[in-house]
Each structure stands twice: as C-alpha cells, then as structure tokens.
C-alpha cells in the first residue's frame, strides 16, 4: 500500500474540500485505489501554515477556527504562510496548488509549480492562470525532471473534459470545440431569464461559491478566455495566450433582451470556442450567442458546463457536468493524483 505525502498550497474552498475527502475517504481509497493521502503541510496567505512530517489530522484542521484565527494556534502551526519552504522541503511527494487565479501573469501559482517541479515533486493544480499562461513551460520542466504536472480541474472542475478527450478519443482528430465554460455566467443568465437582475444573480452565485473572488472575470468572459486557451492548447495543439482570444462577456445584455429571447424560443449563452483553420492556425473566441432552444448547449442550465468537440470520425461529441464547486473541483485533484499513482505503477512494471 502506498502513502503519498501531500502539501496543500492555498486553503480556499477547493483544498478545504480535498482535506474533507481525505478525512472521510482515505480507508476507501486505500481499498479501492491502492493508496492513501497523508497531509503533511498546509499553507495559505490568509491563515498561515501548519506542518507535521508525520501527518496532520485533516479533521482537526477543518474543525479548527482557522477562518477566524488562522493556523497559529494549531500544533505545528504558524501565522505565517511558508509556501516556498514547504514546497521545497523533503516530506511532500505531491504539491496540491490551489491558490487564487491571476489571469495577468499566473503568479504566484506558476512559481509554486516551478519550485515544486525543480524539487522533484509532482504537482496537481486547479489554477487556471498558471495553466493558461505557463502550461507549456511547466510540462517541459516536469518531463525533464521525471515528475507529473496535472491540471484537469483547471477546466470544468472534476468533469474530465481534457482526460476524456486525450485518452478516450485517441485516434480521432479534434478540429474545434464550442462550450459553456463558466458556471457563474450561465447561472446568472438563467436567473435573469426568471426576471432577476444581474447584480442580485451574481450575489447568489457568490453565496453558492461558484463565482471568482472578483466576479467581473466570470461576467466579462475572462475566466472563459483562460479555459478556451487551456483547451485549445491541450486539445488542438495550439500555442495561444489569453491576449490572442477575442473576448466579450454578458454585461451588455439587458434583462429585457434575455427575457425576450426566451419568449422567442431562444436563449442567450456565453460561448467559448476554438477552431483549427485549413492553414493549421487556431482561432478562438468568447462571446454571447443567441441559441435556438433545440441547440444542444441551449439546455445546459445553472452552474453546469458543457463542451461539444468537433471530431473527424465521430462528429460532435459533447460532455457536460459541473464546472465549478468545492468538492467537484477537489475531485479533479483526486483524479490527477490517481493519474500519478497509475503512472507510478506502470513505471514500477
Ligand atoms: N468561477 C468559475 C465558474 C469557477 O463560475 O465557472 C470555476 O472555474
């Protein structure tokens, strides 16, 4: 039986949900997956850090008053975040990077990933900024260091769009995709169809935990732009940066327009898409589109995301599922760790 020492960098909702899963599922993982996780460190800019090479009890951390008083009062705790020291120290085998998304330069998450990979550690991350802006560099670095860099949760939370496309559609060619890639804006559009104003609908999405710290990035399409870049680079072999993707959000759509569209058997949806042109170049875009009710993406409601892939041999293949949420995104981290474990087993022969 294998135990992986993990360090949680960033302790927002996603890593809190992973800690909850470790607290309740380790025995089942041991039986069903052949490994268990030992959390040896947690570090967060707001709460400080807590470290124990022998393993922290996730239940104790979750049930502590860290949100009010930080980690300083816990055994092994400090009021200071110690990201660099923890990432570079010996105990963790896997760094779980779930700090805030920075869409400008991907930092500090990209640096956390670099530190970890250079220290010979596997990295799993949900950080869209770091993945959209630095995945190419980090994948090469990880390959050279003989470790894994996995990031399924950067797009569609635990719904396995990237792994499904790369593993299960092998031998087919994907020439493009279109999708609903932001739970908050899709939820907001749905609430506006019921006559709720945008401001109140965004507040609801914040309470439900779907929205980004700054929901502007959900509403103006920047969050989708990062995900379109990640999918285009991953599935279409593009080399896009966010600035290459034209982007328009839903703020210009009025309540009247949204309600009126529904009366005319159509729906406004915020769509992210990319297509490979005949010359091989990839063109990507984010913009609101008025879809007829019969369109497969028109029925995708609430925080649910969906992506329709254009494939050469199968035609359109659509996958839909949660695109946001604490536990849903924590599941993506687990699926990345399962991939690391399978790779380790394959290497061991
Ligand atoms: N704010 C994002 C959304 C979270 O609403 O989809 C997941 O990336």
Helix, strand or coil, per DSSP, at residue 26: helix
Give pLDDT tens digits for 216-245: 999 999 999 999 999 999 999 999 999 999
Mean pLDDT of the 47-63 span: 98
Q: How far apart are CA 346 and CA 349, in angstroms?
A: 5
- Same domain? For 332 and 306 the reply is no
Structure tokens at 292: 């007829």
The secondary structure element, H or E, covering residue 217 is helix 216-219
pLDDT score, position 349 = 85
CA dist 36 → 6, 157, 279 (Å): 10, 22, 48
Mean pLDDT of the 296-311 span: 95
- Same domain? For 201 and 249 the reply is yes
pLDDT of 209 above 90: no
- Same domain? For 173 and 319 the reply is yes
Q: How far apart are CA 319 and CA 306, in angstroms?
A: 6
Give pLDDT tens digits for 92-122: 999 999 999 999 999 999 999 999 999 999 9
Q: How far apart are CA 227 and CA 206, in angstroms?
A: 20
Neighbours of 45 (CB within 10 A): 15
80 alpha carbon – ligand 1 mean position (Å): 28
> pLDDT class for 210, splitting at 50, 70, 90?
confident
Mean pLDDT of the 50-58 span: 97
Q: Phi/psi of residue 305, each to 5°?
A: -110, 160
Give pLDDT tens digits for 133-167: 999 999 999 999 999 999 999 999 999 999 999 99
Strand blocks (E) in 72-141? 77-78, 94-97, 122-125
CB 224 within 8 A of CB 305: no
- Nearest residue to 337 (alpha-carbon basis) of 89, 163, 168: 163
Claim: this prediction has a pTM higher than 0.85: yes
- Same domain? For 294 and 343 the reply is no
pLDDT score, position 212 = 83
- If one residue of 213, 323, 331 were mutated to test the ligand 1 pocket, choosing by the most ligand atoms within 8 A of its CB, it would be 323
- Same domain? For 109 and 249 the reply is no
Neighbours of 311 (CB within 10 A): 17
Helix, strand or coil, per DSSP, at residue 127: coil
pLDDT of 81 above 90: yes
pLDDT score, position 1 = 84
- Same domain? For 318 and 337 the reply is no
- Same domain? For 116 and 255 the reply is no
- Same domain? For 198 and 295 the reply is yes
The domain spanning residue 167 has which CATH number? 3.30.360.10
- Ligand 1 atom 4: the closest Cα is on which residue? 324
- Nearest residue to 15 (alpha-carbon basis) of 49, 218, 131, 221: 49
- Same domain? For 220 and 294 the reply is yes
- Ligand 1 atom 7: the closest Cα is on which residue? 324
pLDDT score, position 89 = 95
Q: What domain range is 143 assigned to?
A: 2-157+327-348
Q: How far apart are CA 275 and CA 284, in angstroms?
A: 6
Strands 48-51 and 77-78: antiparallel
pLDDT of 201 above 90: yes
The number of folded domains in the chain is 2
Q: Which long-range contacts (CB under 8 A, 24 or more apart) does 187-190 make?
A: 187/302, 187/303, 188/218, 188/219, 188/250, 189/250, 189/253, 189/258, 189/267, 189/268, 189/269, 189/270, 190/301, 190/302
- Same domain? For 315 and 198 the reply is yes
Answer whether 187 contacts ligand 1 (Cβ < 6 A).
Answer: no
pLDDT score, position 288 = 98
Strands 77-78 and 94-97: unpaired
Answer whether 211 contacts ligand 1 (Cβ < 6 A).
Answer: yes
Mean pLDDT value across the chain = 96
- Nearest residue to 142 (alpha-carbon basis) of 125, 128, 121: 121
Helix, strand or coil, per DSSP, at residue 44: strand
pLDDT score, position 102 = 93
- Same domain? For 141 and 276 the reply is no
Structure tokens at 281: 């170049």
- Same domain? For 268 and 297 the reply is yes
> pLDDT class for 213, splitting at 50, 70, 90?
confident
The domain spanning residue 147 has which CATH number? 3.40.50.720
Which residues make beta-bridge pairs with 318? 308
- Nearest residue to 94 (alpha-carbon basis) of 333, 297, 293: 333
Give pLDDT tens digits for 244-299: 999 999 999 999 999 999 999 999 999 999 999 999 999 999 999 999 999 989 99
Catalytic residue among 128, 148, 227, 269: 227
- If one residue of 132, 161, 182 were mutated to test the ligand 1 pocket, choosing by the most ligand atoms within 8 A of its CB, it would be 182
């Amino acid at each position: 039986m294998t135990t992986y020492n993990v360090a949680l960098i960033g302790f927002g909702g996603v890593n809190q949900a992973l800690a909850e899963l470790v607290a309740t599922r380790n025995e089942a993982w041991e039986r069903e997956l052949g490994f268990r996780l030992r959390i040896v460190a947690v570090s967060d800019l707001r709460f400080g850090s807590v470290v124990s090479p022998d393993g922290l009890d996730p239940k104790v951390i979750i049930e502590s008053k860290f949100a009010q008083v930080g980690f300083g009062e816990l055994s092994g705790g400090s009021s200071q975040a110690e990201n660099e020291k923890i990432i570079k120290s010996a105990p963790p085998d896997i760094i779980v990077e779930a700090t805030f998304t920075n869409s400008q330069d991907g930092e500090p998450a990209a640096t956390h990933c670099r530190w970890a990979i250079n220290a010979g550690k596997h990295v799993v991350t949900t950080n869209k900024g770091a993945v959209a802006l630095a995945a190419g560099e980090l994948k090469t670095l990880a390959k050279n260091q003989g470790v894994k860099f996995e990031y399924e949760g950067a797009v569609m939370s635990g719904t396995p769009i990237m792994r499904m496309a790369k593993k299960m559609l092998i031998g087919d060619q994907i020439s493009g995709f279109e999708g609903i890639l932001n739970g908050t804006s899709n939820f907001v559009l749905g609430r506006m169809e019921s006559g709720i104003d945008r401001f109140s609908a965004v507040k609801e999405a914040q309470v439900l935990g779907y929205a980004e710290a700054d929901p502007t990035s959900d509403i103006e399409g920047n969050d989708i732009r990062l995900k379109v870049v990640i999918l285009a680079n991953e599935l279409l072999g593009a080399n896009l940066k966010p600035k290459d993707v034209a982007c328009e959000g839903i703020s210009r759509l009025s309540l009247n327009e949204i309600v009126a569209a529904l009366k005319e058997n159509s729906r406004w949806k915020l769509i992210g898409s990319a297509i490979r042109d005949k010359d091989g170049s990839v063109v990507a875009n984010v913009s609101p589109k008025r879809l007829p009710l019969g369109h497969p993406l028109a029925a995708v409601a609430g925080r649910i995301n969906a992506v329709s892939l254009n494939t050469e041999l199968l035609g359109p293949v659509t996958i839909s599922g949660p695109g946001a949420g604490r536990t849903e995104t924590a599941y993506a981290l687990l699926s990345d760790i399962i991939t690391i474990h399978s790779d380790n087993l394959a290497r061991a022969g």
